[in-house]
Amino acid sequence: MRDEFWKTKRLEEMSGEEWERLCDGCGRCCLHKLRDEESDEVLFTNVACRLLDTSSCRCSDYAHRRRRVPDCEQLAPASVRAIDWLPPSCAYRRLAEGKTLLWWHPLVSGRAETVHEAGISVRGRCVDERAAGPLDHHIVTWPGEIPRRRAPIKETS
């Protein structure tokens, strides 16, 4: 039986280990964002932070990320509820909004690869910030959307 702690605990009640396990490894929060000065709208880009390993979609220096990238946001229950740029697929955002985790989340599927198979991760869809040039040339909408792709059909024996 799996420990489905995210169904019974509020974000504030989770241990550090449980909190970290909520991250699905999609990498969407590690993409640069812009804010429209007039509308205050968040504009997503496909430009990845220099620390994002775009193959695994994990931070290459997670323990020291805030020292190396000072504006890297450290998520906590209070900040998750205040941040308006977390993607709608983000487990932290979904749980803060009273929603459940989706089928491809590794805690639900039991496999880390489902986040990539479902088209949620940034794998193969982003540009390294060192090669990108101006961020406003890389504005995209997909990080702010949940793909319509459905769960794979389960094989019956």
pLDDT reported for residue 153: 47
> 45 forms bridges with which residues in the sheet?
139
Structural contact between residues 113 and 56, judged by C-beta atoms closer than 8 angstroms: no
Distance CA(50)–CA(86), nearest Å, equals: 19
- SS3 state at 47: strand
pLDDT reported for residue 1: 53
pLDDT reported for residue 28: 96
Q: At a CB cut-off of 8 Å and minimum separation 6, what does 27 contact?
A: 48, 52, 54, 57, 58, 121, 122, 123, 126
Residue with tokens 């909408």, as numbered in its chain: 141
Amino acid found at 106: P
Q: How many helices (H) and strands (E) does the chain have?
A: 8, 5
pLDDT reported for residue 127: 95
β pairing state of 52-53 and 58-59? antiparallel
Segment-wise mean pLDDT, segments of 10 residues, the chain, 157 residues = 88 95 95 95 96 94 92 90 93 96 96 94 94 96 82 51
